[in-house]
Each structure stands twice: as structure tokens, then as C-alpha cells.
Amino acid sequence: MNSLATAPGAHAGWVVVKFGGTSVSTRPRWDTIRRIANDWHARGKRVLIVVSALSGITDKLKAIAEAGGDRSRREALRAEIVARHEAMFAELGLTERAPLQYWLDRLTALAVDARAETGDLPWQAEVLALGEQLSSTLGQAYLTAQGLATRWLDAREHLLAQAMPNQTAWGCYLSASVPTAPDPALAAALAAHADVFISQGFMARNADGETVILGRGGSDTSAAYFGALLKAEKVEIWTDVAGMFSANPRIVPAARLLSRLDYEEAQEIATTGAKVLHPRCLNPVREAQVPLAVRDTNRPELAGTEIGATVAAAAPSVKAVSERRGITLISMESIGMWQQVGFLADVFERFKRHGLSIDLIGSAETNVTVSLDPSENLVNSDVLSALAADLAEVCRVKVIAPCAAITLVGRGMRSLLPRLAGVLAEFDLLRVHLVSQSSNNLNLTIVVDEAAADGLVPTLHAALVKSEALRAEDPAVFGPAWSELYASAAPGHETPWWQQRRDDLLALAAQSTPRYVYDLATVRERARRLRALAAPDRWFYALKANSRPELLQVIAEAGLGLECVSPAELELAATLVPSERLLFTPNFAPRAEYAAAFARGARVTLDNLHPLQHWGETFRGREILLRVDLGAGRGHHDKVRTGGAGSKFGLSLDQIEEFRQLARRHDVAVVGLHAHLGSGILDAQHWREVYAQLAALAQRFTRIEAINIGGGLGVPARADEAVLDLAALDACLTEIKQAYPQFELWMEPGRYLVAEAGVLLARVTQTKRKGDYCYVGVDTGMNSLIRPALYEAWHEIVNLTRLDEPADTLYQVVGPICESGDVLGSNRRLPGCREGDVILIAQAGAYGATMASRYNLREPAAESVI
Amino acid sequence: MSLPDPRQAATFRFVRADYADGEARLVYAFDDGPELVERIGFPDAPELPAGREAAFAAALRLLHFVAGISYYKAGVPRRIAVDGVAPDAETAQLLDTLYLHGLGEFAYQNGLDLREHIRFPRAGTHTPAAALDLPARSLLPIGGGKDSLVSVELLKRHGESATAVWVGNSPLIAACVVTTGLPGLNLRRQLAPELFEYNKAGAWNGHIPVTAINSAILVVAALLYGYDTIAFSNERSASSATLEYAGQAVNHQWSKGWEFERTLAAWLRSHVAADLNYCSLLRPLSELAVTRLFARESRYDAVFSSCNRNFRILGPRPADRWCGQCPKCHFVFLALAPFVPKPRLLAIFGRNLLDDESQQQGFDALLEFREHKPFECVGEGRESRAALYALSQRPEWREDALVARFRDVVLPQLDAAGLALEPLLRPEGPHGLPPRLAGVLDAFR
């Protein structure tokens, strides 16, 4: 018996804790359950534990329920289930067999029941319920044996399902609903019996006293029902993740834990994508005003996600971005009279007739467009065809699919619209079919072609954080990033070289600022990493990123070629590498430059018809590479995307045939295909796609020897961005290479080699306070480093003089240029800065000095190499 | 290494072919140039069972002659020479026909007339081959597209013992084979590396009859591993010509056609083994009849691809498997559409090709409307027209851009009598199914 000193008083409140399949499948997990229940009990609460079946058992029971006349299959499954529970009984060290045997006997009886032959629905419900009846029976015995007196509660005695209008027989038995309201009499009656109870998720009884099943997410829903009935102080759903996140962590590792949501926000997030909580379980707790928390069994120290009533004073913020795929839109154009009465009623009646439920609705004067979620019924039956035929009686129907619905969730969405401008710009080139914003001010959903949705959620999430529409820094709403909580083992960020060489850098800064400093060892290391990849045959460093001769020397020594875009670059490169390692890839260059490049022996890339149309003689008998535009561009900013009709680079795919004919006419051999779609890409799949598309295209040519998939290897700017996985990249490339062994693979990295090798040192000139803003001015700005102004690039900024002091002040770091865009970094936490401090701007080795200017007649930063 | 332009060569030579330890080595040369060695790998090959030696030697010779087409076409010299024993007249005739028709599209694309070039030397006669009592089971080549997967399901339903076989390294085909649940056999094929050098030196390039090469490889495999049937999945439409050129019908898929099947099957019975069957299960069917059968089974939706541009690549997203731009993508999309629920079809392709105006020209070519049928393995023009007509009558399709255009622009110019779907779905025409597999045809009815 329990010997706790703090016996609960007469008015002790209730806490409902729910555990899923993996949490009840081993003895250590049952010890965790005991500890959690015990903690609440020790704090004076009455505890109701709701459990799922052991892992995998419900699937086996379902297989029995659906085995039809296959008696031997039912018997085999029954034996497996019995064996699993015998093993669990032994693992838990239990001795009293009778309670378990009772349910195992029920299983045996049901498996040979005559109703099995027809798959009778009430029989199926009884079969499915056994999983939780077995697990809760084992749990009751174990918890009690371990000193926590626990009483077994039959969920069916307290949860009474009610048939819904139009509910099918299947729904009544296997997807039932239970109306619940606080029942103080029940709470008091239970309190008279014990302090700790264990019951079954997933089931209830109907008005006839038969067993019914609650359907998907049923155990969470049971916990919510009990929470409402008992008017619990809290319902806790214990699972394998810390809670709900601001995006699906599998595609957005930077997604933040949501510390606090209101019921409606949680409902939206659960409905639009998050799998951790079934949306059905929110309504009962909302009606009863019972708080619900999602928590991680393995990380009980984390508070998880708390879901409760709306906090009036909370600042509006986007809480999450999610996507649902496989959406079908039905667009209906009215063919009747303007403002025809009853049109919507006619239309919606037909959806109801076919059992299809509508999700989103958008309307115009003569058009209504609705969305349908992908259901088994929709994809594998002719229901859509039948619906369209019926709808055609009253309107013109168009089916638009497959679509993806991207939803932003957060209370106060309307007041966030101004901040969303930059976020919505991400939808720029995509076909947007429908936008829906409900009047409850909670969500904004945008429906686009599914094919266009790849990579969109991570991009949107980053844009939401950047625009502060998602207030990631607000600890009242957001917790840590998923990657911080769970991905610590993933290939991580290295300590930057400049931390180790701080004294050398301060000494250099003492001589003069502003100053770029490059670390050759870092360049050498990056080059070594690239050369270690198996798939690429040749590398060409894109000289424009940084053309400092000492760096080029290191890169040339590592065996890379040099990719040039101007005669001056070619001239410099020719002093460092032999001509066969020179690649000339200009854009809209004059004729003479091509002739000069051939004269140097460089490989030349064309990306337009014009040169062959008008200057055929310059190219006669030459070998060239062709740069094509594969369409959709990618990258971290509009201005670094180099694919798509809006980009000036590359030959359009529909002109390739004409290009081939021109080449043939002038005896020009196309020996390589090239595409480069953008910069700062961190997803290895991107190059796989480019490679596969180019290789497929190359089969239309006869002389192709090389496929040049460009560069754009991303360098993560922020600590919460994933590092580009070079091994994964190599594996992707190798797979394609095996399919097309006849082509050499070339790549053109630029930023990857040099960005992290360079820092910009600047000195604090003045500080200023204006309203809530603190400005710290430094002695150079966009004249030295234009990336923040031009690309909105984010560079880490530290106060090198005070590197060890706490970063407690929020600064806008600005330069001296007379231009309001001369901001090197906004909202940066730094130690209090004083005049003369040395500020370090990191990852400035690429497109820094090479893009510098004398704007305002201020000299840009000098350069030195260490 | 730099090689001379093979177009300047006077003679193409079949040098020799041998087999050892699971590898066939096929050797060719232009004039006295370097030996070009193609290697075909047969994994875990057993010792050749006694009694099959003569048949195996005949099969290896056939493979040598047929696979030579990849190299011959680089130069198309005026003379073909066979070092050692020349083929008998019947074999030489088979090869002349294969080379001439199999390279028909190649000749058209390169503006060549090969009739003066292709003549295999011939000598002697042959003695008719005996029956070898080969095991009653089938080799079923898998291409990753819909056709062979339809055959898989037909053979499974028929209770036939079959092995899924494929040539080369394709993750996509490997994934399809796993999904079939049949045992798999992956044969290797490695072209002579010098061929790439010849290409750089200016070789002719273009389409070759790869089904003929695969057929010859499978004949060797059938004797080695013991199968009495090689069951391809070529349908009726494969026999129809793409266009006429220089008074000659040019068919992109000639080696998938009935004429080649019938000729090769007869040759194999007379020259290799009287009980070796070479046939195509789907021969009496139109492409549309095949797509209708395919629609019955959804297990392959996420793994199959008929796209020739992306077919070597296996990826999780539809765009990895279907480029959406090529004639195969256009045709398979169109041919499945009448038989598959629209949401399922769009999920397979990841997009709606018939609602994309930029694809108009591609679909026009399939309809043979102002364009000629593309050089790809696609169905007949009347099949495409009937499929699109069927869609134009269906409310869930008829507002899509290219379906609406068909209704408004193309349809008024067509003869309505030829647009019915049903007649095109009936099996008809000759087929070469052996008696054991004749029952497979019942599934077509």
C-alpha cells in the first residue's frame, strides 16, 4: 500500500495522464509512468492514468477484425497477441495471473466467435477494445505491486457514446463520439474509492451497453473526455516529442517548440498538419476549460506545450506554418443568372450527397472554389467523377489538383499582415489557387500547386522568423528549436577560426580598420573537403566570390580550376592555373571577349542564341558548353536566384533545338551542359535534381562529355540552420553518376570555399539611443560589405574586444554611409559597446571585398591574409 | 587515347565472342582499329547443363551479331565482315532485316540511306535445332513502365512460375521488381569504353533497337538458368510505323513489333531450341487496353515510370520519376486518364499535364494533329484521340486547358466515327503465346 505522507484531502483536484503504445511496452517505461503518477499524487492530486495498447497490438487486433473467414489467420494472430502479453507479464515480474487470463480468454472466445466470419461491427469493436483492456490490466497490477495503489476503471462505465446525425453503422461502432460535461457526482464517487486509477483509451459504450471504439487518435480523446468529466486541473498527453512545434521538425529542424497555445490555435495546428495530437481531443477540454499539455516521456524536465484559454494580453504572433498535400480543389463557375438564389445550396447539397466534406472555401461573384482533403474514397473510387457529373447540372466544374495547402496559424493573424509582406513574397512565382482567412482571425491558408510546394515550408518558416511575424524570441510562446533538443548528434557547426585567433585579429585591428582578414588554412580545409567527394570529376572555383591572389593560389594548389566571368578575371586566373583549368562563363558579354577567351585556351560557356546567330565565325570549329535554364530558381534571396524566366541567365529549354541547329551549322561542338539555379542552397537533393535533368537533356546531344551542375553550396549563417551534408550530397551525385557514367561531373563552388575564411573588422565610432532602438556605428558599412543591404544577408556580428562579456544589449549595427539601408545587422545582442571597440562581422570572405565600392568616396576595407 | 572518325572506316568486323565464368565478351572492330569489347554479366551463373552446348553457342553468336548494332551504327561502313564462320543465309536475312529496320529512325535522323550498306556475309546451312526439355517457367523482362507490370500481374494470376529480369543498373526498375514480389534477376551490360572515344571523334549517333539486344541477352540467360519462355510485354501499337522516309516505313519501336517477334521466335525454334518460346504477352492489346489493365492495380503507383528522361532515377517525388515534358509522360498520362480516378492519376504524376497549355504541342503530336507521331514508344494516334475524346465528355476533365482546346479546336476537324474507346479495347490480331500461356488471354476479355 502507498505510504505517502501527503494523503490527498477531500478537495483534491484531478489530473489525467495519458500514455501511448511505446510508453506501456517495457518495464522501464512503466516505471516512468509510476514516477509521473506518483509525483502528481505526492503533490496532493488524484490521478487517472489512461493507456493505449502495447505497441503493434491494435494493428494485430485490426487484422483479426478484418480477417473475415480466414480462421487460421485469426488463430495465428491470436497466438501472437497472447505470447506478447505473456512476455510482458513476465517482464513486469507479476504473479497474479487471473486478471490477465480473463482478457486473454475473452480474446480466444472472440477469435472463434461465429460473428467473425461476417466481420460483424459490434464484434469488431469488442476485438479492438481488448488491447487497452489488456495493457491497463497489466499496468494496474504492476503499479500496485510497485507501491502505488491503483484501481482499475472500466472506461465503458463512464464514457457513453452518442450517435451523430447521418452517422453510418461503421461510424457508430468504430469511430464513436462521447458528449462530455463536468460530472461532479462522478468525481466525488470515484474519489471515495481511491486516489489513483488506471483506465483504457480508445473505447466507450453506446446506449445499448455495447462496446464502441473512438477511432483514430482515440486514446488522446479518451484522456480529454475523462479530463472534462472530472473537470480535471490538467490533462497531460505523454508522448515521444516535447510538444507541438512551429513547423514539422522533420522538414524544418529549426522549428521551435510551442510553449503555450490557446485551444483554437492548437486545434488549427493539429488539423492542418501536426501529428502529435489528434484534433478531436481538443474540443472536450476546451468546452470544459481544462488545460491540456503535451510532454515528452524521455525529457520530463521540459514543460512541453501547454494548451489553455486565450491570453488576452498576448502579443500577436504566427505560431506555426504547416502544409497538407494531395488537396483537390473544385472550382465552380455559375452558369445561371447573376446573384442566382440558392446556387450555394445546390452546390453543397451535391457534395453532401457524395459524402464529401469540404474544407476551405473561396468565392467570387460568379465562382466558388472549395477544397477536398485526400481521402481513400476520393483517390481510389469514382466519387469525384460522379460528383463532377452532378455539379455539371448547375455549374461549370473544374478540378484543380494536386495542390498543397500552406497554413499559417496564430491568433491575431490580421494584425500581422504588414509583417507578412516579405513572407508572402515567397509565393511570388507560384500559382496560387485560393487564399482563405477565416473571420476567427486564427489562420491564413494559401493553396498552390503541389509540385511548387517543395521546400516552401522551410523557406516560409525562416522568413517568418526573420520578419518577426513568428516571434521566436518570445519565451512566453516559444521554446527551443527541435534541432537543439533532439539533433545534437547531427553534423554540427564548428568553432570558427577567428575565436582561436582573436589576439592576432585584435593586433591587426590595432594597426588599422576597417580591414578584411582571410584565414588561408580555412580555405585549404574547405578545398580538401570538396576534393574528397567521389562523384565530381572537376571543380572550378568561381573567382568572383573572392579574387585575392593568395587565396587563389591555395585553391589552385588544391587542384581546382577557376571559373571566370570577365576578361580581367581570366587574365588573373591564367597566371595561376594552366589553360585547361580555365572556364569562361560570361553573361551578355561582347563578341571580342569570347574570341579572347578562345585565344587563351579557356573552355567557353554560351547561354544565348545571339552569339551563334550573329557571330558564328568566332565559334566555328570550337567546342563550347551550353548553359540552360531549367526553370525554377532556388536560393536564399531573389537576387541570387538564377533560374526562371525572370532571370537573365541561361538558355530557355524551348530554344535548345534551335541552338543545336545553329551549332551544327557553324560546326560548333556542344561538349558540356551547365545549369546553375541559385546560391546558398543547403539541401543536397537540389543538385541531384539539376544533375538528373541535365544528364537527361544531354542525351539529345551527341558530343556531351561534361555536366556542370554549378555551385550554390550553402554556408549556414545562423546557428539554427543545418550544415550542408557533403556526404549526403556525394551519395546523391554518385547515384546519378552511376546512371550516366559517360559524362564527367563538374561543379563550380564559390562562396563555400571562402565565405567562412574571411571576417571584416571594424571599429565602433559612435553609439546612439533613439526611442527603443540602440544603434552602434562602425567605421565601414555597405561600401565594404553590401550583402546585408543587397541580399538581406545575415552575418554573425560580435564585439571582439568584449567577446567574453554577456551580450545583454539589443543593437542595430550600422555603417557611416549616407543611406538608410546601410545596416550591417539588426536586432543583434552584443555586450554594451564603447567607442573604439573592435566589431567582427563573420562569414565575410565571399562577395565582400569583391563587391566593395567607394560610395560616399569612403575607401572600402583593406585586406590582409593570415 | 584518341581514335579516328569511325565514319571513315571501310569495314565493320565481328571479331569473336566467348563466354566464361558468367560473362559474355563480344568483340568488334572498325577496320584494324582497337578491339571493342562489350561485356554481359550473368550473376551466379550455373555451369551450363549438359546437352545445351550447341544451343548456347548459337545463342551467343546471335547475341554477338545483334549487340554489334550499337557499334556498327557509329560508322555505318559499307562492308560488314565476320571473322571466322559466316552466318547461314536464314540468320543473315534476320540480321539484315533487324539492322535495316532497327536503324530506320537513326537513318532518318542522320539523313542516311542504309540499304546499300547493310548486308551480312552468309555461308552454309544449318541443321534444325532439337528440343532441350527446358524447365517450364518464364523470364519476364521488367522495364519500370506500366506494360511489364501488367504482365507481372497477369502471370501471377495465371499461376505461372516467373522471374523478373532486367538489364543494367536502374534503381527504379529494382524498386519495381521488389514491388512485384517475384524473384529478380539483374543482368549487367557494359559497353566498350572506346565507343565514347569514337563518339568524340565524330561517330554517328542515334536510336538503336534496344529491345532486340535485350532479347538476345535473355536468350542466353534462358539457356544458362533454364527457362523455356521469354515473355516480353509489347503491345499491338508497337507494330505501327512512325512515318515514311525514302519509301520506307520508319518505326521507332520496330524491335518491339510483331514482325520482329515472329521472325525471332521462328529463328530461335529452328536454330537454338525447338522448345524455346519467345513471345509478347500483351501483343493482342492496344496501349489503351494495357492502361486499363494497369489501372486495376494501384500497388505500383509510387514506383513505376515510363518516362524516358527520368527513368534511371528513383526519387520519392513524382517529379523524380516523371519529367512531365516528354512524349512518354504525355501518352501514359493521357492513356491512364479514362481508367483511373483523377485524384489518383494526378498523385502519380504530381501535376496535371492536361491543364498545362505549354504541353499543347506534345499532345498534338500524340493526336497526330498538325504534327507527326513522336519517335517514342507511344500508342497510335487514334488511341490518343479516343482517350482525349472520352475525357472531353467527362465533367471532371473537360474544363482542363488542353481538353477544352481539343473540344473547341481539334474535335470539329475529326471524324466522330473513329473516336469510340470501346473498339480499341478489344484484343485482336496475331500473337505468339505458347499453349501454356494461352489462358492469359482470358484476362483480356
pLDDT tens digits, one per residue of A551-600: 999 999 999 999 999 999 999 999 999 999 999 999 999 999 999 999 99
Q: Is B156 helix (H, G, I), strand (E, B) or coil?
A: helix
Please say if the pLDDT value at position A4 is more than 50: no
Please say if the pLDDT value at position A67 is more than 90: no
pLDDT, mean of residues A423-431: 79
What is the number of helices (H) and of strands (E) in chain A?
Answer: 31, 35
Give percent of chain A above pLDDT 90: 62
Choose the most confident range, by mean pLDDT, from A17-26, A312-321, A690-699: A17-26
Of B199, B319, B399, the CB nearest to A702: B199
Q: What's this model's pTM, rounded to 2 decimal places?
A: 0.76
Q: Is A213 helix (H, G, I), strand (E, B) or coil?
A: strand
pLDDT tens digits, one per residue of A262-283: 999 999 888 877 778 888 899 9
Of B169, B313, B399, the CB nearest to A692: B313
pLDDT tens digits, one per residue of B362-400: 999 999 887 777 767 778 889 999 999 999 999 999 999
**What is residue B310's predicted lDDT score, i.e. its pLDDT?**
61
Provide Rg for chain B, Cα atoms. 22
Three-state SS for B287-326 is HHHHHHHHHCCCCCCCCCCCCCCCCCCCCCCHHHHCCCCC
Give the closest residue to B41 by CA, choosing from B61, B24, B29: B24
Neighbours of A382 (CB within 10 A): 14
**What is residue A646's predicted lDDT score, i.e. its pLDDT?**
72
How far is it, in rounded angstroms, from Cα A47 to Cα B385? 69
Q: Is A748 on the interface with B (CB under 8 A)?
A: no
**What is residue A6's predicted lDDT score, i.e. its pLDDT?**
43
pLDDT, mean of residues A612-641: 76
Q: How far is B162 from chain A (nearest CA, A)?
A: 27
Please give the CATH superfamily to which domain A320-475 belongs.
VC0802-like (3.30.2130.10)
pLDDT, mean of residues B247-265: 89
**What is residue A637's predicted lDDT score, i.e. its pLDDT?**
41
Residues with Cβ within 8 Å of A758's Cβ and at least 6 positions away in sequence, in order, are A516, A517, A518, A519, A546, A843, A844, A845, A846, A848, A849
C-alpha cell at A97: 495471473
**What is residue A32's predicted lDDT score, i.e. its pLDDT?**
94
Looking at domain A756-865, its CATH architecture is Beta Barrel (2.40)
pLDDT tens digits, one per residue of A134-187: 999 999 999 999 999 999 999 999 999 998 877 788 888 998 999 988 999 999
Known catalytic membership, residue A818: yes
Cis omega (within 30 of 0) on the bond before A122? no
Chain mean pLDDT for chain A: 89
**What is residue A698's predicted lDDT score, i.e. its pLDDT?**
87
Q: Do B196 and A374 touch (CB under 8 A)?
A: no
Please say if the pLDDT value at position B121 is more than 80: yes
Please say if the pLDDT value at position A632 is more than 60: no
Mutate to test the interface with A, among B186, B207, B342 (most CBs of A within 10 A): B342
pLDDT, mean of residues A89-116: 94
pLDDT, mean of residues A279-303: 90
Q: Do A399 and B342 touch (CB under 8 A)?
A: yes
Q: Is A765 helix (H, G, I), strand (E, B) or coil?
A: strand
- In angstroms, the Cα distances linking A244 to A294, A306, A472, B328, B404 are 7, 9, 14, 44, 45
Please say if the pLDDT value at position B180 is more than 90: yes
C-alpha cell at A363: 468565392
Q: How far is A701 from chain B (nearest CA, A)?
A: 9
CA angle (A133 as vertex; A131, A138 as ends), nearest 5: 95
Q: How far is A135 from chain B (nearest CA, A)?
A: 35
- Residue in B with minimal Cα distance to A453: B350
Of A392, A401, A693, the CB nearest to B346: A401
More confident residue, A7 or A116: A116
Lowest pLDDT segment from A1-5, A58-62, A139-143, B251-255: A1-5
Q: Do B350 and A397 touch (CB under 8 A)?
A: no
Q: Which class in CATH covers the domain with range A14-153+184-237? A: alpha beta
Chain mean pLDDT for chain B: 91
Lowest pLDDT segment from A8-17, A205-214, A835-844: A8-17
pLDDT, mean of residues B284-288: 93
Q: Is A738 on the interface with B (CB under 8 A)?
A: yes
pLDDT, mean of residues B205-226: 95
- Residue in A with minimal Cα distance to B198: A703
Q: Is B243 exposed, middle or buried (0-12, 13-18, 19+ CB in 10 A)?
A: middle
pLDDT, mean of residues B97-123: 92
- Give the start-to-end residue ranges of the domains of chain A: 14-153+184-237, 320-475, 586-747, 756-865
Q: Is A391 on the interface with B (CB under 8 A)?
A: yes
Lowest pLDDT segment from A261-270, A632-641, B276-285, B309-318: A632-641
**What is residue A634's predicted lDDT score, i.e. its pLDDT?**
42
How far is it, in rounded angstroms, from Cα B219 to Cα B58? 10
pLDDT, mean of residues B260-282: 97
Give ipTM to 2 decimals.
0.79
User: What domains appear along chain B, each with residue ranges and CATH number?
Assistant: 6-280 (3.40.50), 306-425 (no CATH)
Q: Is A736 on the interface with B (CB under 8 A)?
A: yes
Q: Are the C-beta atoms of B298 and B345 separated by less than 8 Å?
A: no
Q: Do A397 and B351 touch (CB under 8 A)?
A: no
Of B171, B310, B341, the CB nearest to A381: B341
**What is residue B445's predicted lDDT score, i.e. its pLDDT?**
67
DSSP A713: B
Please say if the pLDDT value at position A638 is more than 50: no
Of A379, A696, A735, the CB nearest to B323: A696
Q: Is B313 on the interface with A (CB under 8 A)?
A: yes
A586-747: CATH topology: TIM Barrel (3.20.20)
More confident residue, B77 or A242: B77
Tell which B residues from 400 to 429 touch A, by Cβ distance under 8 Å: 400
First-residue to last-residue Cα distance in chain B: 58
Please say if the pLDDT value at position A506 is more than 50: yes
Q: How far is A160 from chain B (nearest CA, A)?
A: 38
Give percent of chain A above pLDDT 70: 95
